[in-house]
Amino acid sequence: MALLLKLGLINIKLDLKRSQFKDLLLLSAFQPVLFFSFQTLGLLYISSSEAGVINALIPVSVGILGMFFLGEKLTPKQFGSFFISIVGIVFLFVMNGAAGVFNTEGVVFTLLSVFSTSLYIVTGRKLSKSFDPMTLTFGMMANGALVFLLLALGLEHLTLQDTASLLHNSEFMLGILYLGLFTSVGTSFLTIYSLGELEASRSAVFMNLCPVIAVIAGVFVLHEEFGYYHLIGSVLIISGVLMAGFSEKNN
């Protein structure tokens, strides 16, 4: 994004007030710093399919947080749909434990990533009224890049020689370009743009596709195991989220 800014292809607001800068730092803390950190840690312990199913709780979490922080109203039907989703999560946890594959660390880290991205969506909805999407996206990516660079230098003890060797690794560079351009910049910009047009709870409903895609990719690309209890838990969680979506649409 810095290159696009230098070339004049994008326009952002740089003269921010102190309060606006603090708001931008808070948003950046939720996404990408905390979300990506917790998500990465979670995937060290559980499969991408299981993480995808747990991520289906994001619309539920956003709906509840939006009610408290944004004054968005929830109907009794939406509360019922949230309960169904939570039952699905509990069922998945219990069955994983019975099968001897339940991993507390992975579940906790993934739930923390869900909470982080929910706070990001709610905060983004609030800030979308005073920031344009490009400025918010640029600020998030710049702050995130700085934090993760410092962490890499401090925790991994990267040297200039190590960094240069990574730049010559085609697999690493393709992965970084995909994660940077599409899952970071592209996703953040489109999410912030949608939050400027839709309520946080409505925007989060579109995340229903995330667990479905994660499960499909996990099974067919990564060849992860997907038992019958994963299917039942997924159906319960996604059914609850879809009920919330349809309720919102009817309202």
C-alpha to C-alpha distance for 79 and 212, rounded to whole angstroms: 22
The sign of the torsion formed by the CA atoms of 97, 52, 232, 207 equals: positive
Distances (CA, A) of 157 to 40, 85, 206: 19, 42, 39
**Residue 244 near residue 81, CB atoms below 8 Å:** yes
- Whether residue 19 has pLDDT greater than 60: yes
Question: Which of 248, 167, 195, 208 is closest to 31 using CA atoms?
Answer: 195
Structure tokens at 70: 């944004």
Cα torsion 14, 134, 25, 177: sign: negative
pLDDT of 131: 86
Q: By C-alpha distance, which of 145, 128, 126, 215 is closest to 185?
A: 145
Given a cut of 90, whether residue 113 has pLDDT beyond it is yes
223 sits in the region (left: phi over 0; alpha: psi -120 to 50; else beta) called left
Asked if 244 and 60 count as a contact pair (C-beta separation under 8 A), the reply is yes
d(CA 245, CA 78): 8
d(CA 133, CA 129): 10
Burial of residue 250, with CB atoms counted within 10 A of its CB: 0-12 exposed, 13-18 middle, 19 or more buried? exposed
Q: What is the rounded distance in angstroms from the CA atom of residue 235 to the CA atom of residue 98? A: 19
Q: Is 130 helix (H, G, I), strand (E, B) or coil?
A: coil
Identify the pLDDT of residue 100.
56
From the DSSP assignment, how many helices (H) and strands (E) are in the chain?
A: 14, 0
Q: What is the pLDDT of residues 78-112, one digit of tens each?
A: 777 777 777 877 777 677 665 556 678 888 999 99
Banded model confidence at residue 28, pLDDT cuts 50, 70, 90? very high
User: Mean per-residue pLDDT for 195-221?
Assistant: 72
Side-chain half-sphere of 73: how many Cα atoms within 13 Å?
4
CA distance 15 to 28: 18
Q: Above pLDDT 70, what percent of the chain?
A: 82
Q: For the chain, what are the domain ranges?
A: 19-130+200-250
